[in-house]
Structure 1
């Protein structure tokens, strides 16, 4: 089973697409953006979820990094 929240690879122009259960919720440029998307989705304690792999999968890039290498 994969994590319900996916933070996709950094875009060449900056930012990372964020999906929750396959639905795009926005483009994040920093952790606070992700936290806000998750809060809006009904996860008020979202900041604690960012480093929990059962909740969040960081794809193709370092966690908490929002610019392409």
Structure 2
């Protein structure tokens, strides 16, 4: 893969969870950091769930890694 990898975790959906994209491709709807790490693993990017929140190459839109659903 050439160039930097672009990972975007989108804002929480109205029903909970956050869409995850890598280089424009939707990987799925994550409900926690473990889900994000698993989607990235399946895409060939090895990262531990504990490192997902701190990774400089993951862009968090609509809130940081602590937001997963709609707050009441």
- TM-score normalized by the length of structure 1: 0.82
Select the structure of larger CA radius of gyration. 2
Note the C-alpha offset of 1:52.
2.1
Q: Runs (4+) of structure 1 moved beyond 6 Å?
A: none
Structure 1 equivalent of residue 70 of structure 2: 68
Unaligned runs of 5+ in 2: none
Are 1:40 and 2:39 counterparts?
no
Structure 1 unaligned residues grouped into runs of 5+: none
Residue 36 of structure 1: how far off its partner (Å):
0.3
Relative contact order, CA 8 A, sep 6+: which one is greater? 1
Measure, in 1, the Cα distance between the counterparts of 2:67 and 2:37: 14
TM value normalised by structure 2: 0.79
